[in-house]
Amino acid sequence: MVISFKGLVAGLALIAFAAPALSTSPRDLRGPEAKLKQVSDYYIRYCQGVYPMPTNCKVAAERIQYLQDEITSVNRSLQNSLRGRAYETPLKASGSSRHHREYNEHVERMLRVREAIDQLKKRGVGPDDERMMALEAENSVLSMRLLRLQSRIKGAS
């Protein structure tokens, strides 16, 4: 098997870009939180004091906003990975069990529901919207069904 140099570089680049998204951990927050503390201290000391020095205040304020957005993004991805880790992928059935088929169907349906919820959130639809509430209710029902099916499958094996 011959791997071209371009293919190898493309594969490594893909892994380098995908790895941070796949391996989100609470340790990923340490760097941005430390930087945010430093920039916030600078802003308080030099931009909000008795004698403010407005030379870098705008840059510091922009950096604070950027770091807060980064921390929010990492928190969101942590919550998503923790929330969906239990039933994110279909089970590999050892046989053609009815429970395995039903579980896989529910997983696929739940992923579609979560995708629809994310799209509504991106459009700015609030949590009080009827569509959002219906999708959240369906997501909740599916997660409970998946938990029940998990216990049945574990009990059968």
- For the chain, give the secondary structure using H, E and C: CCCCHHHHHHHHHHHHHHHHHHCCCHHHHHHHHHHHHHHHHHHHHHHCCCCCCCCCHHHHHHHHHHHHHHHHHHHHHHHHHHHHHHHCCCCCCCCCCHHHHHHHHHHHHHHHHHHHHHHHHHCCCCCCCHHHHHHHHHHHHHHHHHHHHHHHHHHHC
Cβ(74)–Cβ(84) under 8 Å?
A: no
What pLDDT is stored for residue 40 in this prediction? Answer: 79
135 C-beta neighbours (distance < 10 Å), count: 21
What pLDDT is stored for residue 3 in this prediction? Answer: 43
- Cα(34)–Cα(32) distance, rounded to whole angstroms? 5
Burial of 123 (0-12, 13-18, 19+ CB in 10 A): exposed
Q: What is the dihedral of CA 56, 57, 58, 62, to 10 degrees?
A: 100
What pLDDT is stored for residue 54 in this prediction? Answer: 64
Q: Give every residue of the chain whose pLDDT is below 50, as ranges.
A: 1-22, 85, 95
- Cα(50)–Cα(131) distance, rounded to whole angstroms? 51
Q: Quote the tokens at residue 43.
A: 């802003």
What pLDDT is stored for residue 20 in this prediction? Answer: 44
What pLDDT is stored for residue 19 in this prediction? Answer: 41
